[in-house]
């Protein structure tokens, strides 16, 4: 918003200057005037400050340190190396510092003991909550509930700012279509449209409407760019993709984050078409800063400037500093190539002072907008730290978000919800009684605050229900295990709940895997349990799509529970026993088999689409498996059922300068109320470049009473249908479009309209 406003204000000013004298009466609104005055005041302040800064101090602002707190290196000690750097103004930002006490002490050094008193900016990996840990970002995306996602980020910002943090390295907005990649857990899944809306919601949540408030923090959209497209799903791996794919798929959520005013971006580790993202002027300068008008700053990823050498892009660290700075990388995280080499590069005329000044101005701009020049201790409020962490309100919101993130994958014969009074209930699985449910990047979450699944179930059932628990088997054992205890427990039970999947540490950074089926002996145990012929529910825990074809075929009820944060057990029990009707929908496709990945619904067609002639072997297909997902993007069941009918458009033609209304009747045909995510997809049937078989273009999450019918309406304009044409122009061409509406990307109604 801030950004858009600024562009508008500057745009207006430019227009004013260009207009003939008599037309100069065009006036700015009061808000625009106020904004303009603020910008002018800030620019005067920054001009002044920049004039006073030495080159070394400027490069200091471009350096982010990870402090060494070992006893002989304590940075608070003026004699330590870190302490000296701080006092000489050789550090602009610090990361991984949290807590009012320590942030106050460090800020005091910067403000009182450096020559120009420039405050530090403290960054931290707050990815899905700080103390009140919410579900994994991928799980939150499954809610398709933008206001709940925004609220989750808002609460994270409140807690982060209460602990002295100004800047969160979040949202992670990388599109991920390869389930092997461990970091798929940190983003919003496979789809750029959904990803862009979630990126905006998270930025709004973190930054609020005014960055200078003491409970808002600056967001960092990461990892710019295309980090999720690493070859073969391996972390940090090279990315090679067309500019069209880059822009239409991978950049869209970043663009959305910038439009929402994200103050910073983080460059990614990977190369993009041969050039490392951290020194990629096409990405950083041309697209981000010039085309999108981004006026915040870009930070590298952890040592990614130094890594330019290992990439084979820079000969040495000196070279790396020069290449990154010239490409528009404003701040270096952790490694010291800027601090050690940049000055010499400027003196040698290899990096211009203009480049340095621009980077520093961007960094100081964000510090200014955070209000740090006005009050550097704004975020050092010990009272807030005491009263605003893990509050009952935050915990309630975490439970609510966790409930919304759960996806019901299968529910044959209404196996779920379970009765609370159920006789003997067996809960089996190593993760059932585990506190390790925060998932990767758990912030400062404490496992003792986690409600394990077993605890949640115990709290929910009636006093008559007896809970029997067995650890079952190890998660990842490679040797056969003894199932006797688990089977004994199962034998006694009236109902069995199997908790299965991956552990929290199996997704996240550097956790790429070549197998995505349920690890170890868990499935073998499940098969033995199923032989007993008792009713079984499987709860999946995981941060990536798992391939579960056997479970999908044989187990009557399957619930996707991801890693749901501190309220895991309570939220799962809410769904299991029907206090909450699940409404989550997958933000990512679940393949049958690892051999299908990358798998995503919005693929291009081929000249030989399988669907046209399913029995013809000379079609685009696998000889030994289906092409389809077991559970497609957008999929998720409810305890009620929804019927879609009567899909129609208000006119056969969408005029180039008009809009078209698409309506569908959705009826809750089941016995209870529930929420449904009504999804709209389109296909451009022929164009100067081939278009995907389906693209999400709208959705509405709506509540229905039992028996209720709603007419759900979407409006599309030609702009919603834009893409990069054969000449890389962002536009839409006239022609026939199919519009699909349904409760997931596979089961849809469809109709056509013309665009001309
Ligand atoms: C990750 C980033 C993270 C940074 C700082 C890197 O390894 O890729 O996502 O923000 O470390 O912890």
The reply to whether 151 falls in a domain is: no
CATH code of the domain in which 448 resides: 3.40.50.1700
Q: Distance from the CA of 228 to the center of ligand 1, in angstroms?
A: 14
Ligand 1 pocket, residue 167 CB under 6 Å: no
User: How is 580-645 classified by DSSP, letter by letter?
Assistant: S------SS-EESSGGG-S--SS-B--SS-GGG-TT-SSSSSBTTB-SSEEE-TT--B-SS-EEEE
- Give the pLDDT of residue 27: 82
Q: Which of 301, 330, 381, 574 is catalytic?
A: 301
pLDDT (tens digit per residue) in 275-330 = 999 999 999 999 999 999 999 999 999 999 999 999 999 999 999 999 999 999 99
- The answer to whether residues 536 and 417 belong to one domain is yes
pLDDT digit string, tens, across residues 220-247: 999 999 999 999 999 999 999 999 999 9
Structure letter (DSSP) for residue 724: E
Q: How confident is the model at residue 525 (pLDDT cuts 50, 70, 90)?
A: very high
Question: 41-57 pLDDT, tens per residue?
Answer: 999 999 999 999 999 99
- Does residue 569 fall inside a structural domain? yes
Mean pLDDT within 178-202: 98
Where residue 2 falls among pLDDT bands split at 50, 70, 90?
very low
**pLDDT of amino acid 26:** 64
Question: Quick one: 438 and 544 in the same domain?
Answer: yes
Angstrom distance (rounded) from CA 580 to CA 618: 47
Q: Which of 596, 623, 652 is where one domain is finished? A: 596
Distance from the CA of 170 to the center of ligand 1, in angstroms?
10
The CA 566 to ligand 1 mean position distance, Å, reads: 22
Taking 80 as the threshold, does the pLDDT of residue 574 lie above it?
A: yes
Q: Both 575 and 434 in a single domain?
A: yes
496 burial (CB, 10 Å; 0-12 / 13-18 / 19+) is buried
| Chain position carrying tokens 């849809």 | 748
Is the pLDDT confidence value at 1 over 50?
no
Please say if the pLDDT value at position 139 is more than 50: yes
| 235 Cβ below 6 A of ligand 1 | no
Cβ(169) – ligand 1 distance below 6 Å: yes
Burial 375-408 (b: 16+ CB within 10 A, else e): ebbbbbbeebbeebbbeeebbebbbbbbbbbbbb
Residues 409 and 481 in one domain: yes
Residues 615-628: pLDDT tens digits? 999 999 999 999 99
Same structural domain, 518 and 422: yes
| 524 and 425 share one domain | yes
Pocket test for ligand 1, best of 123, 302, 332, 441 (most atoms within 8 A of CB): 302
Q: Quote the domain boundaries for residue 402.
A: 398-596
Say yes or no: CB of residue 301 within 6 Å of ligand 1.
yes
Q: Is residue 482 domain-shared with residue 577, that is, in the same domain?
A: yes
Q: Is residue 248 part of a domain?
A: no
What is the predicted pLDDT for the residue at 478?
87
**Ligand 1 contact, 307 CB (< 6 A):** no
> Which CATH number covers residue 663?
2.60.40.10
Angle at 244 between CA 240 and CA 246, to 5 degrees: 50
Could you give phi then psi for residue 480, rounded to 5 degrees?
A: -60, 145
What pLDDT is attached to residue 71? 86
pLDDT (0 to 100) of residue 19? 40
Give the tens place of pLDDT for each residue, 457-472.
999 999 999 999 999 9
Residue 233 lies in a domain: no
Q: Is the CB of 676 under 6 A from ligand 1?
A: no
Please check the confidence at residue 86 and state whether its pLDDT lies above 90.
Answer: yes
- Is residue 183 within 6 Å of ligand 1 at its C-beta? no
Shared domain for 649 and 575, answered yes or no, is no
Whether residues 402 and 522 share a domain: the answer is yes
CA of 222 to the centre of ligand 1 (A): 9
CA of 198 from ligand 1 middle (Å) equals 20
Residue 41 domain-assigned (yes or no): no
pTM above 0.75, yes or no: yes
Share of the chain above pLDDT 70, in %: 97
pLDDT 10s digits, 705-754: 999 999 999 999 999 999 999 999 999 999 999 999 999 999 999 999 99
Share of the chain above pLDDT 90, in %: 95
Closest atom of ligand 1 to CA, residue 96? 12
Catalytic residue list contains 628: no
Q: Are residues 509 and 592 in the same domain?
A: yes
Read off the pLDDT of each residue in 594-603 and give the average, rounded to a whole number. Answer: 97
Please give the tally of structural domains in the chain: 2
Which residue's C-alpha comes closest to atom 8 of ligand 1? 301
**Ligand 1 probe mutation, 93, 125, 335, most atoms within 8 A of CB:** 125
Dist. CA 415 → ligand 1 center (Å)? 42
Which of 93, 124, 169 to mutate for ligand 1's pocket (most ligand atoms within 8 Å of CB)?
A: 169
Distance 278 CA to ligand 1 centre (A): 13
Question: 431, 444, 542, 570: which is closest to 132 by C-alpha?
Answer: 444
Atom of ligand 1 nearest to the CA of 223: 9
pLDDT band at 110 (very low <50, low <70, confident <90, very high): very high
């Amino acid at each position: 918003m801030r950004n858009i406003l600024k562009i508008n204000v500057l745009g207006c000013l430019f227009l004013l200057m260009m207009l003939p004298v008599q037309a100069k009466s065009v006036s700015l609104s009061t808000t625009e005037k106020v904004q303009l005055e603020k910008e002018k005041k800030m620019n005067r302040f920054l001009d002044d400050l920049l004039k006073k800064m030495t080159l070394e101090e400027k490069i200091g602002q471009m350096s982010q340190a990870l402090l060494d707190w070992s006893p002989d290196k304590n940075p608070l000690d003026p004699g330590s190396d870190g302490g000296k750097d701080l006092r000489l103004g050789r550090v602009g930002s610090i990361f991984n510092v949290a807590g009012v006490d320590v942030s106050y002490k460090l800020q005091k050094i910067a403000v009182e003991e450096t020559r120009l008193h420039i405050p530090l900016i403290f960054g931290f990996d707050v990815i899905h909550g700080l103390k009140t840990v919410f579900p994994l970002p991928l799980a939150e995306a499954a809610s398709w509930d933008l206001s709940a996602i925004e609220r989750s980020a808002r609460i994270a910002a409140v807690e982060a700012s209460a602990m002295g943090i100004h800047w969160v390295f979040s949202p992670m907005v990388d599109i991920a279509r390869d389930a092997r990649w461990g970091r798929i857990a940190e983003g919003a899944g496979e789809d750029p449209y959904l990803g862009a809306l979630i990126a905006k919601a998270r930025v709004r949540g973190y930054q609020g409407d005014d960055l200078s408030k003491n409970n808002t923090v600056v967001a960092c959209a990461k990892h710019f760019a295309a980090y999720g497209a690493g070859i073969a799903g391996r972390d940090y791996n090279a990315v090679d993709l067309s500019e069209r794919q880059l822009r239409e798929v991978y950049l869209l959520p970043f663009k959305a984050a910038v439009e929402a005013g994200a103050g910073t971006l983080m460059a990614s580790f990977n190369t993009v078409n041969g050039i490392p993202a951290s020194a990629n002027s096409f990405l950083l300068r041309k697209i981000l800063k010039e085309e999108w008008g981004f006026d915040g700053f870009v930070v590298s990823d952890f040592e990614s400037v130094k890594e330019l050498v290992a990439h084979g892009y820079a000969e040495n660290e000196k070279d790396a500093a020069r290449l990154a700075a010239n490409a528009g990388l404003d701040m270096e995280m952790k490694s010291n190539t800027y601090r050690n080499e940049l000055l010499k590069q400027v003196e040698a005329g290899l990096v211009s002072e203009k480049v340095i000044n621009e980077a520093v101005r961007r960094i100081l701009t964000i510090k200014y907008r955070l209000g740090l020049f006005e009050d550097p201790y704004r975020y050092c409020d010990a009272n807030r730290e005491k009263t605003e962490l893990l509050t009952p309100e935050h915990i309630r919101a975490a439970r609510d978000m966790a409930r919304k993130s759960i996806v019901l994958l299968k529910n044959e014969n209404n196996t779920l919800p379970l009765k609370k009074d159920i006789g003997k209930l067996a809960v089996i699985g190593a993760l059932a009684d585990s506190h390790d449910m925060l998932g990767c990047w758990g912030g400062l979450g404490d496992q003792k605050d986690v409600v394990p699944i077993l605890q949640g179930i115990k709290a929910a059932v009636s006093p008559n229900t007896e809970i029997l628990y067995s650890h079952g088997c190890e998660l990842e054992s490679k040797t056969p295990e003894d199932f006797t205890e688990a089977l004994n427990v199962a034998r006694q039970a009236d109902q069995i709940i199997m908790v299965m999947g991956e552990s929290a540490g199996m997704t996240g950074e550097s956790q790429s895997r070549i197998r995505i089926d349920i690890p170890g002996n868990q499935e073998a145990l499940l098969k033995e349990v199923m032989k007993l012929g008792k009713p079984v529910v499987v709860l999946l825990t995981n941060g990536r799509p798992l391939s579960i074809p056997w479970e999908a075929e044989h187990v009557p009820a399957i619930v996707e529970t991801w890693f749901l944060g501190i309220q895991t057990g309570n939220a799962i029990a809410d769904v299991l026993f029907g206090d909450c009707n699940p409404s989550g929908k997958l933000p990512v496709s679940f393949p049958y088999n690892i051999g299908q990945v990358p798998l995503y619904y919005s693929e291009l067609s081929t000249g030989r689409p399988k669907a046209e002639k399913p029995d013809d072997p000379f079609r685009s297909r696998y000889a030994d498996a289906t092409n389809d997902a077991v559970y497609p993007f957008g999929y998720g069941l409810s305890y009620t059922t929804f019927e879609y009918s009567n899909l129609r458009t208000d006119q056969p033609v969408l005029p180039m300068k008009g809009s078209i209304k698409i309506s569908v009747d959705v009826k809750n045909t089941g016995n209870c109320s529930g929420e449904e995510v009504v999804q709209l997809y389109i296909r451009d049937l022929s164009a100067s470049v081939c278009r995907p078989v389906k693209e999400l273009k709208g959705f509405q999450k709506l509540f229905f009473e039992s028996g209720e019918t709603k007419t759900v309406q979407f409006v599309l304009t030609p702009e919603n249908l834009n893409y990069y044409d054969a000449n890389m122009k962002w536009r839409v061409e006239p022609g026939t479009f199919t519009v699909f509406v349904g409760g997931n990307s596979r089961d849809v109604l469809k109709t056509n309209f013309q665009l001309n």
